[in-house]
Amino acid sequence: MTKKRVFSGIQPTGNIHLGNYLGAVKNWVDSQDEYENIFCVVNTHAITIRQDPKELKKKTYELASMLLACGIDIAKSNLFIQSHIDEHAALAWILDCHIPMGDMSRMTQFKDKSVKNPKNVNVGLFNYPALMAADILLYQVDDVPVGEDQKQHLELARDVAMRFNRDYGECFKIPKPMIPAVGARIMGLDDPQTKMSKSAQGENHAIFLLDSPDVISRKFKKAVTDSQTSIVFDQTRAGLYNLLSIYEILTGKTREEIESEFEGKGYGHLKTALAEVVIETLRPIQENYHRIHKETGYLESVLYNGAQQVRPIAKATYDKTKELVGLL
């Protein structure tokens, strides 16, 4: 049977953290054998917020190195940089011309980012979902691994694709969302009501993948819990539930096994055990990252080859879209 094709992208802004890893990257790595995979460093999306050019380039290659270090296997998956394939931006313009203003104005991420960056509310930020739709639709993908916060954008991509197919003829495959049952939304250690974020200011908010063992232990010790004593999976106890969810994903143990393991023990035992599991999980990733990031020629070759592999798919989709709307 032909494997289903999936597409995922991640921005090269800030530093990749445990929430990114558990909510997205680990799932990409674990499912590589099941799908035809297209993974992208979406650096064009990043410039909706003003970036230092040298820093953006540096972060782009750092993120690519980290994805490879986490286990993206170039024998099973294509990895490339978004800006290396011009059809992303070109298709986004055609989609812009077929998305009603009302649909775009309802996107919650535009509202959130506008509040966070009031001095740079630009047209690109408003049109961000059109570029995301272009990323996905270019490659005729079956499924798109997304977190809950991106599901609205995928629904927009589906809507514009269906309308386009209806009005001009069959062009785009309609993608379906893939939302993992566990780990789709890892919360901040200092505020378990808020999703773990690259941009949060608190020093104990996120575990970054390059954090040292001492830093990881310190952050977990300071993680917010509650005044109760039992260690059980209870979604109303947000801080505890977040820690247990991380432990569940990384150990592969059932919830019953975990509750039994910590029965009669305090939060200190859980935080120590969790820190140890995270440290051991990140140790080989950090070692791989430092090795890969030094091999500049290898990294550039991987990204070039990844783009070469997927470019024919992107070009074929864009050329068909142009033809259907009457562009020469």
- Indicate if 198 belongs to the active site: yes
Report yes or no: 188 and 206 within 8 Å, Cβ to Cβ: yes
β partners of residue 178: 145
Report yes or no: 139 and 105 within 8 Å, Cβ to Cβ: no
Both tokens of 238, joined, read 């947000």
Report yes or no: 131 and 92 within 8 Å, Cβ to Cβ: yes
**Ramachandran category for residue 115: left, alpha or beta (phi over 0 → left; psi -120 to 50 → alpha):** alpha
> How big is the CA angle at 237 (ends 232 and 242), to the nearest 5 degrees?
75
- Indicate if 151 belongs to the active site: no
The catalytically annotated residue of 195, 253, 265, 320 is 195
Cα separation of 18 and 292, whole Å?
20
| SS3 (DSSP) at 281 | helix
Where does 78-122 have alpha helices with state H?
87-96, 101-105, 108-116
- Indicate if 119 belongs to the active site: no
The catalytically annotated residue of 57, 198, 315, 322 is 198
Q: Cβ-count burial of 312 within 10 angstroms (0-12 exposed, 13-18 middle, 19+ buried)? A: exposed
> How big is the CA angle at 181 (ends 179 and 187), to the nearest 5 degrees?
85
Cα separation of 88 and 222, whole Å?
42
Give catalytic residue positions: 113, 195, 198
